[in-house]
Structure 1
C-alpha cells in the first residue's frame, strides 16, 4: 500500500467495536487510519464496519507508535482506556493499578509521534485518579493526585489541556450516558467544546427553537416484538425486581398526570397502527443487556374471563371477534431498573433518554395494559367496597385524559441489541450481528460491544469542533 506522507492520519486506541471510530467517520467522511484493541471480538466487529482501517489486535503497550505510523503525521489520536477500575459502579471492590494506568498510553504517543490533537474519554471518576492502598482501594486523601500528574505530563510536552463532562443526549444520542472528555492539543489553536444540539424539551432553548428536544427511549423500541406477561413466567421474578416494577408503575402509570401511551386499534398491534409520544431521550447503555421492554396485550370487555382471570388476548394471537363496540384500549410503558444491591428508584419514563447501557441486565421495558373502567361488568365503581382480592395482583387504576382505566396486565422483556445500538447513537447500517468473516455474534457479545462503545455523536461533535480541517478535507475527497 502506498502511503501519503503529507496527509495527517487518525488513530483510535482502545477502539473496541467502533463507537469512536464511527463518530470520527461521521465527522470526517473517512475511516480512521489505525485502530488498536487487545480483544479479537472487538477488532472483528470493527473490521466488519471499518474495512479500510489498519487493525492491530494487540495490547496497546505492545504497539510501537513510530512503527505503526510509518513516518506519517498524526492529526488526531483518540483514546478510550478501560474505565471499570475508575468507575463508582465497581463499588467496594479492589481496583487494579495497571488497568487504572492505561491512560498513560496518551503520554507515550505524545512523546513518540506528537499527535496534534489528543482526545481521551472515560468515566467522570477518572478525574479522581489517585494511588491505591495495599488492599487495592483508592486513598481518599490522595484523590486526583495521579490525574493531575498525568495532565502535567502532557503540558510538559507542549500540550494545552482541558476537560469537561458531557452527556450524550445533548448531542443527539437517545441515551443519558455521561462521560468525562479531555482534549489536549499542541498546535497553538484553541480547544473547542462542541455546543449541545439537543436539550430538555421543557427548556427555554428548546421552546424557542435554539435546540432540538432530546431524543427518547420510545424512538429505539421495536414495538413489534412480543412482550410476555410477568405473571405467567415459569420462573417467577425475584421479589426485588417486582418491587422495582411496582415503584415504576406507581410513578409512571398510576401517579403520572401524562402517562406515555401506546394506542391499540381493532386490527391488531404493531407497525404503523401504533401511535406514541416521544419527547425525551433514552438512558445510558452498558455492555450487557440491561434494558427490558414491557409491552401490551389486547384487552377486551367481554363478561367472561380466561382461566387465569384475565380478559383479553396476547398480541401474537389472532384477534378475537370484533363487535360494534370499541373493546380495545391503551398501553403505557416505562423502563424499570433491575440493578442488584440497593437500587430503589422507579426507573425511567419512555419520554426520556435511555440510561447508560452496562454489562449486566439492568433495564427492562415494562408496559401496563389498560382498559376503560366502566364498573361492575369489568371491575367496580370507585365508591364501592373493593372486590375480592386474588393471589395475582394484576389490577390498578390510572386516569388517562380524564377517564379511568384499569390495569389488566403487565408485560416485560429485555431490550435487544438492535434497539441498544441506536440508543447509543450508532447509525442504522452498523453491522452488529456478525464479524468481517460472516461469523455470527451471540446476543451477549453484541451487547458487550455496545455497552463498551463510545456513543458516536460524542466523537462526531468533538472532532468537528476541534479538527474542522480534517472534516473539510475528507468531505472534499468523498465528493
Structure 2
C-alpha cells in the first residue's frame, strides 16, 4: 500500500507534484483560495480538496495520513516581502505603467493576496491530532532569525515526539536522472520531522558537481562558513552567504566546487521575444531602462563565435577575440552570440539584470522580471551562403536555441574591435561606421588591415582570407530602444518551479503568476519525499 500524505497549504500544487512523483498518494489538499483549489483539483482529480481557512478548521476533520506537508506563511520573512515580521506586510498595489504596456494581467482578488499560506501554529495543531509518521515544512531561511518564536515552535514539535532535521538548499541544486532540476535560484529552509523510533531519512544535500583537481564528477558536500548568523543560529542560511559546496575527497584537499545547474533559458519560450521597446508609445520606467543599459554593459562583452557545421571536436564555442576565424568553407558555418538577459521590472526588490545561462532568481507572487533580447540574430543554413537570408530581425520568425548545434544564434551589436594594428586602420573605420549609423544600418562591419581595402558589412562575403590576421569585426552599439522586451509568462514561472507543461493552471495572468511564485519547487519536494518514503518503508522491512 502506498504511503499517503496531506497537503494542507497546497497552493498550485508544487509539493503535491513532487511527493506523488516520489511514490506517495495524495489524500487531501487544502487551501483558502478558490483559484488555487481549482488549479490543484484540475490536476489531482482523485484527491479530496478543501477550500477553507485552515486557521479556523477543526483538525480532527482532516484524514489520517502517513505524511503531512505544510508551507506556512513566509511573506513577512522573505526578502521579497520587504517588511518586519512584527508588522505583517499588506498587499502592494500592482505597479502601473510598464506592466500594463505589455500585458493585461488581470485582477487578483484580495483573498489571493491575504494569508496565501497559513501559520506555523496550524502545523502543530494538525500534528497533535494525527501524529503523522513524518511532517515536512517548507519556508525561507530568514524565518529562523526573523521570527522570534521559531525555536520555541521547533521545541513544540520535538515535545510531541519528533526528531528534527534541518535542510537548507537551493532549488537549483536538486535533481537527477528521474528528477529534473529547477532552473531557479530559490533558497529554502526545509524542516523534516520524523516520529521517534523511525529511522532518520538521509536528507543531506549532495548535488552533483565537477571537481577539477580530481578530474571527475563528485557528490558535493555542504560546508558552513564561520559567519555571525551560523554562530548564532547554527547551520541555517543561503548558498554562498552561509554555506558552500566542496569535494568529498581528501586527495584534492576538499576543493571548492560548483554544483551543476539548469540555466534559465530552459524555462523561456523563445518563440516570443516580445515587443521592440522603441515601438511602444508609452515607454518603460526609467529604472527599468537603467537596468537594461546596465545589463547591456555587463553581458555584451561575452560574445561568442558558434561553429555549427562540424561534427568533430571543432564544433565548439570560442570567444570572438580569441584569434582568427576558423578555416573558411562554402557553408555558412558560424554565428556569434550574446546571451539574452532577464531584467527586474515593475518595482522588483531585485535591481540588477542577469544572463539566461544561469538559473532564474527566486520566483515571487507577482510579475517581477522581463526578458530582454538583443535586436538581431544570425541564422545558419546547411547549404551555400545566402547573404539575403543570413541576417533577420528577431520578430521575423521563431528564435532557436543558443547552442553549438542549433540553427541560429542570438547576437547583439555592442562595439567590438579585434586588436587593431595601427592608427591608419582605426582611421578607416570612422567614415563607414558613421555613414552606417546615420543610415540606420545594423550590420556589423568587417575592417580589413591591408592597405587600400575598404570596410564591408557582414551581409557581404568576406574578403580573401590570408595566412595572418587580416580583418577585424566592428559593430554599432546596441540601443535600448532596439531591444525586445516582455514580462515573463506564467508558464515560464511555472517551469522555473519545475512544473510540467501539461499542468493546467486556472485564473488570469496575475493569478497564475501568483500561484507560480508561491509554489514549492517540485524537484525538492520529490527529493525529500523519496528520502522520507525510504525511511518509512524501512520500518516494515526491519
- The TM-score by the shorter chain falls in which range? 0.5 to 0.7
- Aligned equivalent of 1:235, options 271, 282, 287: 282
CA-atom RMSD, angstroms? 4.0
Tell me how far apart the structure 2 counterparts of residues 449 and 412 of structure 1 sit (CA, whole Å): 23
Number of the residue aligned with 2:156: 153
Contact kept in structure 1, 2:263 and 2:358, CA below 8 Å: yes
Number of the residue aligned with 1:357: 363
Number of the residue aligned with 2:202: 192
Question: CA 1:51 to 1:263, structure 2 compared with 1: closer, same or farther past 3 Å?
Answer: farther
- Aligned equivalent of 1:81, options 58, 72, 81: 72
- Aligned equivalent of 2:45, options 28, 31, 51: 51
- Aligned equivalent of 2:264, options 214, 217, 226: 217
2:345 matches 1:338 = yes
1:311-350 superposed matches below 5 A? 330=337, 332-338=339-345, 340=347, 343-345=350-352, 347-350=353-356
1:405-416 superposed matches below 5 A? 405-408=475-478, 409-416=482-489
- Aligned equivalent of 2:188, options 165, 173, 179: 179
Question: CA 1:92 to 1:151, structure 2 compared with 1: closer, same or farther past 3 Å?
Answer: closer
The Cα shift of 1:471 comes to 7.9
- Aligned equivalent of 2:173, options 154, 164, 170: 170
* TM-score, normalization by structure 2: 0.61
The Cα shift of 1:33 comes to 0.8
- Aligned equivalent of 1:461, options 520, 527, 534: 527
Number of the residue aligned with 2:139: 122
Number of the residue aligned with 2:502: 429
| SS of residue matched to 1:32 | strand
- Aligned equivalent of 1:96, options 88, 96, 99: 88
Question: CA 1:214 to 1:465, structure 2 compared with 1: closer, same or farther past 3 Å?
Answer: same
Structure 1: gaps spanning 5 or more residues: 1-5, 131-144, 266-274, 278-323, 435-440, 474-479
Question: CA 1:223 to 1:263, structure 2 compared with 1: closer, same or farther past 3 Å?
Answer: farther
Tell me which structure has the larger Cα radius of gyration: 2
Question: CA 1:88 to 1:95, structure 2 compared with 1: closer, same or farther past 3 Å?
Answer: farther
Structure 2: gaps spanning 5 or more residues: 90-113, 175-180, 220-258, 310-314, 318-330, 377-411, 418-423, 446-470
Contact kept in structure 2, 1:19 and 1:426, CA below 8 Å: yes
Spell out, residue by residue over 1:426-473, the C-alpha distance to the aligned partner (whole angstroms, 9 max, x if none).
1232112x4xxxxxx312121111111001001000111122267899
* TM-score, normalization by structure 1: 0.68
Spell out, residue by residue over 1:39-97, the C-alpha distance to the aligned partner (whole angstroms, 9 max, x if none).
1000000001111111111111233333222xx4x311000112112223222466239
Tell me how far apart the structure 1 counterparts of residues 340 and 128 of structure 2 sit (CA, whole Å): 52
Tell me how far apart the structure 2 counterparts of residues 471 and 354 of structure 1 sit (CA, whole Å): 36
- Aligned equivalent of 1:19, options 3, 14, 17: 14
Contact kept in structure 2, 1:198 and 1:214, CA below 8 Å: no
The size of the alignment, in residue pairs, is 376
Question: CA 1:356 to 1:83, structure 2 compared with 1: closer, same or farther past 3 Å?
Answer: same
The Cα shift of 1:225 comes to 1.4
